[in-house]
Homo-oligomer: A and B are copies of this chain.
Amino acid sequence: MPSICRVISAASIAEPFKEEISKGIASLGFKPVLRAFLANNDPSAREYAAWTAKTATDMGFNFYLEEVRQAHLEEAIREANNDRTVNGIMNYWPVFPNLQDDLRLQQLVTPLKDVEGFSSIFIENLYSNIRYFDPPTNLIQSILPATPLALVKALEHVGVYNAVLDRGTRLYGKTITIVNRSDIVGRPLAALCANDGATVYSVDVSGVRRYTRDRLQLSCHRWEEVDMTMRQAASQSDVVICGVPSEQFKFPSSSLKDGAVAINFSSAKNFDKDTIKEHASIYIPTIGKVTITMLLRNL
């Protein structure tokens, strides 16, 4: 069977943003400084740090990776918050064994240097569909967390966002299934897409939720539990986005609507690369390079 599916690389999605950011830096007259803290022993975090370093340096940033002990991290962040030569701060997660400690750490980074978009103000804005940091002046855009933002940019790149419609409504009429409801990606992504007008089916082991703005009549999304399976949700969707961190999970390709868009953001391969191409019109197998670009764009 000849494949009619277009496979789109993260690099090709990131490219125009990298150019835009490099030009922006060149016009600044100085190299913005990103200070990244590595306080865990996860080899994949180290790999990710090396990749961020290369991308940031190539694009004209000054990137400083600082390895710190967990016990010294709070102090290091406070110092970076107050250091005028530091423009952006990021961490490699998880830091602590306890999620609560990581969440508290995220709020320690000043919003003015938070490139990850985890500050409460940004998260609240995201869920409430508030696009600016400084309403009602609205000169400074609210920062969005890098992976959900990368996935939004991927959806724009492949034409799921309809540029004919007004900003903030460009997903109206589209149905999107997101298999992952983590606080870090799946849940904010569901909210972002629903706020832009999509009907979103958010899937995790506990069940399926539908996110909607009710024909754009609500100022931001609401959600409800629905009695559907992942397959039923997917078969009605123009886009299926998977982020299940397990090599065991495979999305059943045959439940994709013919001609739909399939996107994987998990480090595991959630789609079977052969059968998905028999059904999808567009397949984006990874998103990591867009995520790093969005971190730097936030900076």
Contacts and interface: CB of A to CB of B under 8 A. Distances in A.
Interface stretch (A35-43, A70-78, A105-113, A167-175): A167-175
Contacts of A166: 6
Nearest to A238: B173
Interface in A226-278: 238, 257-261, 278
A80 to B, nearest CB: 40
A162 interface: yes
B169 A158 contact: no
A276 to B, nearest CB: 13
Nearest to A158: B164
Interface size on A, as a range, is: 20 to 34
A282 interface: yes
A279 interface: yes
Contacts of A169: 4, 281
Contact of A4 (B158, B174, B215, B257): B215
Given A159-B162, A215-B278, A282-B165, A259 B173 contact: yes
Contacts of A238: 173
Given A4-B172, A257-B173, A259-B173, A279 B164 contact: no
Interface string A120-132: 0000000000000
A164 B239 CA distance: 15
30 contacts: A2-B217, A4-B169, A4-B215, A4-B216, A6-B164, A6-B166, A8-B164, A157-B164, A158-B162, A158-B164, A159-B159, A159-B162, A159-B163, A159-B164, A165-B281, A169-B281, A172-B258, A172-B259, A172-B281, A173-B238, A173-B257, A173-B258, A173-B259, A173-B261, A173-B281, A174-B259, A197-B281, A199-B258, A215-B258, A215-B279
Interface of A: 1-2, 4, 6, 8, 157-159, 162-166, 169, 172-174, 197, 199, 215-217, 238, 257-261, 278-279, 281-282
